[in-house]
């Protein structure tokens, strides 16, 4: 058996060590007075920013789909004890960004919520109204109700200035255990292949982020907000050192819209469909590597078309910021303020040129949505005109003819057949579909055979249905 080994220590040395340790324990903790001393402890930063990080409790009412409730025989025995509606509660975090009580959190934290509460770090709770929801960025803004005080807030940092290796702190309420602080570094920036929201341009960090941290703050060592914690990569459900945060520059756009009283976020639109540059495309364009965003199509009269951008152009930067892929362009362009112009650098026939693109919001076009209720393969689907605004929102080619499916009801015929949100119905039984009323009319006419042509992911699909 191995045992620890000891050696004799002179009594004088022991007394000296005891004196040193006694003096050290008697010393009081001091707040660092310089940037170099700040590296020794994050306590002053946490003390300053923690009051601006809150817990968000969202209550959802969902229908009880227990099959016993649909059967009259079983309902007489079990129905009285089985409510048709159940209440589900979710927990997340949020950040106070305005002294009047505006809180920013994740959209997925409050999605479908009928009631929202905010709990401050001092344990006080307030009801909150949902001021703005922006599903595309996975952000939402709440307002504390009935508050008559000025709340502590966090200052926004320029998230584009973040570099890999920068130290960051994550603050939130993981697993509902209470406010928790973790630290780490920025392990990557501009992550675009995450799949959490439409605007994929995330800060990646190894600071521990767990369920319940969603909507919480990612701050730098100066206590400024660099991002809103949004998701983790995990096989176990817990932190594995890969967390993602929405950059503060995107958060600022959403918060500014809420501060101005808007119920929706208005961003610049390009009016062009972009595609990723594959190795094959890069070789054909004589590029050293696959980079940039290739213009696949343009909407007539759009800002891109008016700026002189053409199909086949390769966008490489926006106002000097490099564009690695279409997701990077979407982020760079969407975080520009409306008004003025953006300098879009692109390569055309091997030459670099600059286009001045007007920063305009999408035109407001009525959706003209129609819910298909007739007995047909489309029963349960909601369709709409493919307007430029809707095409941009759903990342579809605005030049495609047909109507787009905007919603598919759970358990419906349309869902069981396999129709998906974003499918464009081009024709039914060899009749072209130009507007939602066309599809509604054909579905209402009925029939035993259905030949349907749709566009999905840029591919045309034709199928036959019977019944």
User: Which among 93, 134, 137, 138 is annotated as catalytic?
Assistant: 138
HSE value, Cβ hemisphere, 13 Å, CA-based, for 317: 9
Please say if 427 is a catalytic residue: no
> Tokens 């591919």 appear where?
459
Please say if 127 is a catalytic residue: no
User: Which among 93, 108, 134, 325 is annotated as catalytic?
Assistant: 108
In SS3 terms, the chain reads as: CCCCCCCCCCHHHHHHHHHHHHHHHHCCCCCCCCHHHHCCCCHHHHHHHHHHEEEEEEEEEEECCCHHHHCHHHHHHHHHHCCCEEEEEEEEEEEEEECCCEEEEEHHHHCCCCEEEEECCCCCEEEEEEEEEECCCCEEEEEECCCCCCCCCCCECCHHHCCCCCEEEEEECHHHCCCEEEEEEEEEEEECCCCCCCCCCEEEECCCCCCCCCCCEEEECCCCEEEEEEEECCCCCCCCCCEEEEEHHHHHHHHHHHHCCCCCCCCECCCEEEEECCHHHHHHCCCCCCCCEEEEEECCCCHHHHCCCCCCCEEEEECCEECCCHHHHHHHHHCCCCCCEEEEEEEECCEEEEEEEECCECCCCCCCCEECCCCCCCCCEEEEECCHHHHHHCCCCCCCCCEEEEEECCCCHHHHHCCCCCCEEEEECCEECCCHHHHHHHHHHCCCEEEEEEEECCEEEEEEEEC
> Tokens 């579809």 appear where?
396
**420: Cα separation from own chain's centroid:** 21
**387: Cα separation from own chain's centroid:** 23
User: Which among 93, 137, 197, 214 is annotated as catalytic?
Assistant: 214
Please say if 183 is a catalytic residue: no
Give the residue numbers marked as catalytic.
Answer: 108, 138, 214
């Amino acid at each position: 058996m191995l045992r620890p080994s000891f050696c004799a220590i002179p009594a004088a040395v022991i007394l000296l060590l005891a004196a040193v340790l006694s003096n050290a324990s008697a010393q009081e903790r001091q707040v660092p007075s310089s940037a170099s001393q700040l590296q020794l402890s994050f306590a002053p930063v946490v003390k300053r920013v923690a009051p601006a990080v809150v817990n968000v409790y969202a209550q959802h009412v969902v229908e009880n789909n227990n099959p016993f409730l649909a059967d009259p025989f079983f309902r007489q025995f079990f129905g009285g004890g089985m409510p048709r509606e159940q209440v589900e509660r979710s927990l997340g975090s949020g950040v106070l960004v305005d002294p009047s009580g505006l809180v920013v959190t994740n959209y997925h934290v409050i999605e479908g919520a009928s009631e929202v509460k905010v709990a401050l770090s001092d344990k006080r709770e307030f009801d909150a109204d949902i001021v703005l929801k922006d599903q595309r960025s996975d952000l939402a803004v709440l307002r504390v109700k009935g508050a008559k005080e000025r709340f502590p807030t966090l200052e926004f940092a320029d998230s584009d200035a973040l570099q890999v290796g920068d130290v960051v702190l994550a603050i939130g309420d993981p697993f509902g255990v209470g406010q928790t602080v973790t630290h780490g570094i920025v392990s990557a920036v501009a992550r675009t292949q995450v799949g959490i929201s439409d605007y994929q341009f995330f800060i990646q960090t190894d600071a521990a982020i767990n369920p319940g941290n969603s909507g919480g703050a990612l701050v730098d060592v100066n206590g400024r907000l660099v991002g809103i914690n949004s998701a983790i990569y995990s096989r176990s459900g817990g932190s594995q050192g890969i967390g993602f945060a929405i950059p503060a520059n995107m958060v600022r756009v959403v918060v500014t819209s809420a501060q101005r009283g808007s119920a929706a976020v208005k961003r610049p639109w390009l009016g062009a469909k972009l595609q990723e540059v594959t190795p094959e495309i890069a070789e054909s364009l004589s590029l050293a590597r696959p980079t940039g965003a290739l213009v696949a199509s343009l909407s007539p009269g759009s800002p891109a078309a008016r700026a002189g951008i053409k199909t086949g152009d390769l966008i490489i930067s926006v106002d000097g910021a490099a564009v690695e892929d279409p997701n990077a362009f979407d982020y760079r362009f969407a975080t520009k303020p409306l008004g003025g112009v953006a300098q879009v650098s692109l390569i055309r026939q091997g030459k670099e040129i600059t286009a001045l693109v007007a920063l305009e919001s999408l035109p407001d076009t009525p959706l003209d949505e129609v819910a298909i209720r007739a007995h047909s393969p489309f029963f349960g689907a909601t369709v709409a005109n493919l307007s430029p605004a809707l095409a941009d929102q759903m990342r579809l080619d605005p030049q495609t003819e047909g109507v787009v499916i905007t919603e598919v009801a759970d358990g419906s015929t349309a869902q069981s057949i396999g129709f998906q949100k974003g499918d464009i119905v081009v024709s039914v039984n060899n009749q072209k579909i130009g507007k939602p009323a066309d599809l509604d009319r054909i579905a209402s006419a009925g029939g035993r055979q259905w030949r349907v042509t749709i566009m999905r992911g840029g591919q045309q699909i034709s199928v036959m249905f019977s019944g």
